Structure 1
Amino acid sequence: MKILLTGGSGMVGRNIQDYAQLYRDDEILHPSSHELNLLDFESVKAYLKKHQPDFVIHAAGTVGGIQANINNPIKFLVDNLDMGRNIVMAAKEAGIKKLLNLGSSCMYPRSAPNPLREEQILTNTLEPTNEGYALAKIVTAKLCNYCSQETDGALQYKTLIPCNLYGKYDKFDGVKSHMIPAALYKLHQAKTQSDTDVQIWGDGTARREFMYAEDLADAVFYAIDNFERMPDMLNIGLGHDFSINEYYSAIAKVIGFNGSFVHDITKPVGMKQKLVSTEKLEEFGWTHKYSLEDGLKKTYQYYLESN
């Protein structure tokens, strides 16, 4: 197939491309933002008309950690909303029959009981620290549902909802990054500078589910190969989670940091737990391959080679 991949320069997009090069024969179009401006509907329509892909994977997005979301709610809402709307509606207008949209576990209500089931979306209020991003992701997923419903299945536009991700091509920064790359960066810096302690935001008891990004790439192509029987919305996760303290300990072990941890309880921590249900995923027949330790080792090796 000829597949259009949006967000090809991001962590998810680059892992999808790597996976395709290793295991697939598909032609992957991965235009830069200069070649395809997803914020401009006419630009998106023109690109689809010119290249006529058989399938669209929408992985583009404006993303960031807790602090970035808190500081820029308008940008996180408007950019992601515009990108999602433009690619879905342009694909519909172009008659592209299959589109796989990548959502986020942020779409779930903050008070929803864990594990988070697909049916719980839009049943309560969202987590305030990333509400704008979550709203945009929900609207795009619902738009995909509506396109499928209004065409009686002639268009199949579906959404994968991954848990938190980490891996190759992540952004490694002590403040702006998501938790695992931020922790890896901080612990590496502490080791190289012989620091005796590292700060953790909050008390470290919040629980998160982080999957190695190559596993998501594998799930994406499994979904493509089994698209007819894939549900309209499907969680992609591990089925288990760890506390922030446990993640820091695991990363410290991989890096070789032997110091201690200091908790700053004045910092925002987001939801206390965010574990997605894998019940439908197990029925669908896919499971992850990488353990936390193996994923962290590969991620740290990438960090050392690229920094």
Structure 2
Amino acid sequence: MKILLTGARGMVGRNILEHPESKNFEFLSPARAELNLLDALEVDNYLKKHNPEFIIHAAGVVGGIQANIKNPVNFLVDNMLMGINLITAARNNNIKNLLNLGSSCMYPRGIDSALHEQLILKGELEPTNEGYALAKVAAARLCEYIVREDPDFLYKTAIPCNLYGKYDKFDAQNSHMIPAVITKIAEAVAQGQENINIWGDGEARREFMYAEDLAEFIFYAIDNFSRMPQNLNVGLGYDYSINDYYKVIAEVVGYAGTFKHDLTKPVGMRRKLIDSTLLAQFGWKSKTDLNTGITKTYQYFLNEVVK
């Protein structure tokens, strides 16, 4: 089967292409110079030329809290255009199968219980990444609308929890939490720093899954696509506090200093745990525990980022 993978040079895309099962498919993995998803005509022409049988939409403008706060226009406009251009062009070219990757940012803020798929658009979004969330909600809803109009189209959305792993961005200013903390703690060790600041009180809770596990889920979903729910959370089913993540990363990196909490900094949602009930019914479960995932990610950081 010929599969178009957008975002093939990002963390998710590269983990998909490196997965052993990728050899069972013919992957189209164009760079932006070959396929600009912001250009609707270019997207339509690409699909007409290559005629993929299945699309995985993993492309996007991504980043942590600081990047979202600093660049809300790009996070809204670029992500929304990419999703709308690709999904509508796929429908117009009669491509029947499309797996859209959403985000747990799509869920309302301020909910302490696990977030189930029916909660999309049932409350106010988290302001710190609202633009990104709106774009992801729009793409998921567009998939639903297309299926509603014609059930022969299988356009579905997987909603991963936060991710980390190989090929992540290791930038203390613009990356997601885990690679940013790995970078910060590694630098503290190298410079002999005795204490490190944590944004907020560290009690906010987050669910992070190793990116290789998401790649494994995607191949499972391809094999079982007809029975996959329209919208499906993909996560661990449990979470950790920010303080817990700092502690594990410090142990892996070898940092023996102390942590201080900067209560003036934003922390986003206090908790963001996705409900894994439908995922369990679908028959899939993640395999990589936190310590193993952090250890592998730190080794990648040492081998490929620091060098």
Aligned to 1:44: 43
Letter in 2 for 1:13: G
1:106-126 deviation per Cα after TM superposition (whole angstroms, max 9, x unaligned)? 000002342000000100110
Aligned to 1:155: 153
2: CA distance between counterparts of 1:89 and 1:282?
31
Aligned to 1:295: 293
Contact 1:203 1:263 survives alignment (8 Å): yes
Contact 2:3 2:28 survives alignment (8 Å): yes
Q: What TM-score comes out, normalization by structure 1 length?
A: 0.98
Letter in 1 for 2:80: L
Q: What TM-score comes out, normalization by structure 2 length?
A: 0.98
Q: Secondary structure at the match of 1:269?
A: coil
1:174 deviates by 1.4
Aligned to 2:140: 141
CA RMSD of aligned residues (A): 0.8
Contact 2:109 2:124 survives alignment (8 Å): yes
1: CA distance between counterparts of 2:195 and 2:110?
33
Contact 1:99 1:158 survives alignment (8 Å): yes
1:46-99 deviation per Cα after TM superposition (whole angstroms, max 9, x unaligned)? 110111111000000011110111111111100000000000000001100000
Aligned to 1:130: 129
1: CA distance between counterparts of 2:182 and 2:110?
29
Runs of 4+ in 1 over 4 A off after TM superposition: none
2: CA distance between counterparts of 1:70 and 1:254?
30
Aligned to 1:196: 194
Contact 1:202 1:267 survives alignment (8 Å): yes
Segments of 5+ residues of structure 1 without an aligned counterpart are none
1:194-240 deviation per Cα after TM superposition (whole angstroms, max 9, x unaligned)? 11111111110000000000000001111111001000000000011
2: CA distance between counterparts of 1:279 and 1:202?
31
Select 1:179's aligned residue among 174, 177, 201: 177
Aligned to 1:120: 119
Aligned to 1:7: 7
Q: Secondary structure at the match of 2:259?
A: strand
2: CA distance between counterparts of 1:237 and 1:173?
24
1:23 deviates by 5.5
2: CA distance between counterparts of 1:297 and 1:304?
11
Percent identity between the aligned chains?
Answer: 60
Segments of 5+ residues of structure 2 without an aligned counterpart are none
1: CA distance between counterparts of 2:164 and 2:238?
16
Contact 2:21 2:219 survives alignment (8 Å): no
1: CA distance between counterparts of 2:155 and 2:211?
22
2:48 maps to 1:61: no
